[in-house]
A and B are shown apart, each in its own frame.
Chain A
Amino acid sequence: MKEKLTKEEVLHVAELARIAVTEEEIKKYQVELKKLLNDVEKINDVKGYDDEILIAPWSNNTELRKDEPREMLDPKKVLENAPRHSGNYIQVPVVIGESEGA
């Protein structure tokens, strides 16, 4: 097994996680992340299980909520913890491009 991840591999996971890393940190992560990844490789030692998956250990049939509106937040409350806001809106630096999701 390799001892370290490459710099590119570290940058890739930092990108997925949206965490800025310094050159110095990259060096540490090359070793530390690799150690954890080597740990999880041990999953390949497990044999003889079936395909059924367990999403959460207590799985009663999901109880459904009645479609009845309940109390909502005062718009002022919505902004209370937001670092940046403008009018009734929460604000972020301008976003270029469309959402990738829905």
Chain B
Amino acid sequence: MKYLNQPIEEIHKLLKAKKIKPIDLVEEAFDNIEKSDCNAYITLNKEEALKEAKELESLPVDNILFGLPIAVKDNIVTKNLRTTCASHMLENFIPIYNATVVEKIKEKHMIIIGKTNMDEFAMGSSSRTSYFGAPHNPWNKDKISGGSSGGSASTIAARDVLFALGSDTGGSIRQPASYTGIVGMKPTYGRVSRYGLVAFASSLDQIGPMTKNVYENALLLNAIVGHDEKDLTSAKKEEEDFTKLIGKSIKGKKIAIPNYFVSDIVDDEIIDKIKETEKTLEKLGAKVDYIDMKYLEHAVTLYQIIAMGEASSNLARFDGIRYGHSKENPKDIRDLYFGTRAEGFGKEVKRRIMVGSYLLSGENAREYFYKALSIRDDMKQEFKNVFKDYDYIIGPTTTTTAYLLTDPMDDPSKSFMDDVLVIPVNMAGLPGLNIPIGFDKNHMPIGMQIIANSFEEAKIYSLASALEKELNLDLNPYGGEKNE
């Protein structure tokens, strides 16, 4: 008997009525993972998950997430559970503390079943920079599941589990969600505590929920948000229920599509799908305009400078002294540094650290880094101005659908260009969500990005759920998930 493919309320009812136990769900999840065989996980937490599930049997089923398995991206630290960041550098690293989000999901009595595969230190767009090999896309196992949260996207798309956490620095939740036909939310910067998220680019990173549908996504976001005194960039906001606007009419909502988002950088097939969706939205009573935005096309450049600059500093701590990989028998301290880092980091990471160091060195800091921070401020302002007139900005999430795992990786700019449409949201710190809107001719998912003003996640879920209901797509790669 399968339970994890049922609506969440149904599972909750069964748990509450003691018709099923958390351990049934955990066992089913591990079974699913094995069958899916997508290399979505770096570490499975089988023994501990089963033990926790047993322990939960004596507790009251006090919330809708109780007893549900969850997959956690492997750059979110979990006490006593190996956290590798998909890097040889941390291949054997056992954290001694929990990330704040981990504490939060544990408070809800969710069960961590494993740590998901990703690009090394979240640097990449296809999860192929993982030291542990890339995860596969359940829609076509020869294709990428995107990145950097590729493992989380893959396991949700494959219907292994209901919930996964990802992190998004330059699209790393939304882009893989788009490639795998799932719902992925990057919350407003400051919404979710970053404490315990291994930093890639501190001013861009944000943890977010990845699920198969909008409602479950909002439920998981409810569980992980909140001000954290351990993270000075976490925002103090009143508690809210992110499901509150789900099912509400979107009549009269004003939506903007930036012309850049439907320019020739995007595949025709995807533009066509966006235009179709535009019609659907209008049918639902929304008003759609095309607008010009000056800074969007520069977002990737700013991102390269800021993300690589910050990363070069954030990853300096991996030196083989206090934790992680360390060069054997170093001759001297220099050998320890150079050897450890040459052995521990993969190609993509090394490239970004080197370029980032260069961009901050000497006069370059002014020429590139500070300039990027200045333009970033203007870019944020531009978004703010658009939201004076519009409720939402929408556009495609990706320029293509998922490509082959065997496609060449030697162009160092490629991984940035894959994220050209999703990066602007991180630059401005806005919330953005991917919602599947259809398929290409090869039946690979196409996603749409919904962006709203800061801290308007509930509003995003409202539009996304309206569309989800209207489109009624079968988003299970193995079929059978369309509502009758």
- Which A residues fall within an 8 A CB radius of B? 12-14, 16-21, 29, 32-33, 35-37, 39-40, 42-43, 45-46, 49-60, 62-63, 65, 73, 77, 80-84, 90, 92-95
Contact = CB atoms under 8 A, between A and B. Distances in A.
Nearest to A45: B298
Given A17-B312, A83-B326, A39 B190 contact: no
18 contacts: A16-B357, A17-B350, A18-B319, A39-B304, A40-B305, A50-B374, A52-B377, A54-B376, A55-B373, A56-B429, A57-B203, A57-B380, A57-B429, A59-B233, A81-B323, A82-B323, A83-B320, A83-B321
B20 interface: no
Majority secondary structure, A binding face: loop
Contacts of A39: 300-301, 304, 413, 416
Given A29-B354, A58-B190, A20 B339 contact: yes
The 5 closest A-B pairs by CB, nearest first: A57-B429, A58-B190, A81-B323, A83-B326, A20-B342
B6 to A, nearest CB: 37
Contacts of B321: 82-83, 90, 92
Contacts of A65: 229
A36 B353 CA distance: 12
B203 A81 contact: no
A66 to B, nearest CB: 10
Given A16-B354, A46-B371, 18 more contacts: A13-B361, A16-B312, A17-B341, A18-B316, A35-B411, A36-B308, A39-B301, A40-B368, A42-B301, A43-B301, A46-B295, A46-B375, A50-B374, A52-B374, A56-B203, A57-B429, A81-B323, A93-B332
B229 A56 contact: no
Nearest to A74: B96
Interface string B287-311: 0000000010010111011001000
B354 A58 contact: no
A81 B304 contact: no
A50 B377 contact: yes
B17 interface: no
A36 B333 contact: no
B270 interface: no
Interface string B317-356: 0011111101000111101111101100100001101110
B342 to A, nearest CB: 4
A13 B357 contact: yes
Nearest to A58: B190
Contacts of A51: 374
B235 interface: yes
Contacts of B353: 17, 19
Interface in B347-400: 350-351, 353-355, 357-359, 361, 368, 370-378, 380
Contacts of A14: 354
B428 interface: yes
B96 A21 contact: no
A46 B355 CA distance: 21
Nearest to B352: A36
A60 B324 CA distance: 34
Contact of B333 (A52, A83, A93): A93
Nearest to B426: A57
Contact of B302 (A43, A63, A82, A84): A43
B64 to A, nearest CB: 28
Nearest to B370: A53
Given A56-B189, A57-B428, A82-B322, A43 B377 contact: no
Contacts of B361: 13, 16
B202 interface: yes
B428 to A, nearest CB: 6
Contacts of B380: 54, 57
Contacts of B233: 56, 58-59
B129 interface: no
Contacts of B94: 80-81
Contacts of B331: 93
Contact of A49 (B234, B322, B375, B411): B375
Contacts of A43: 298, 301-302, 305, 368, 371-372, 375
B93 interface: yes
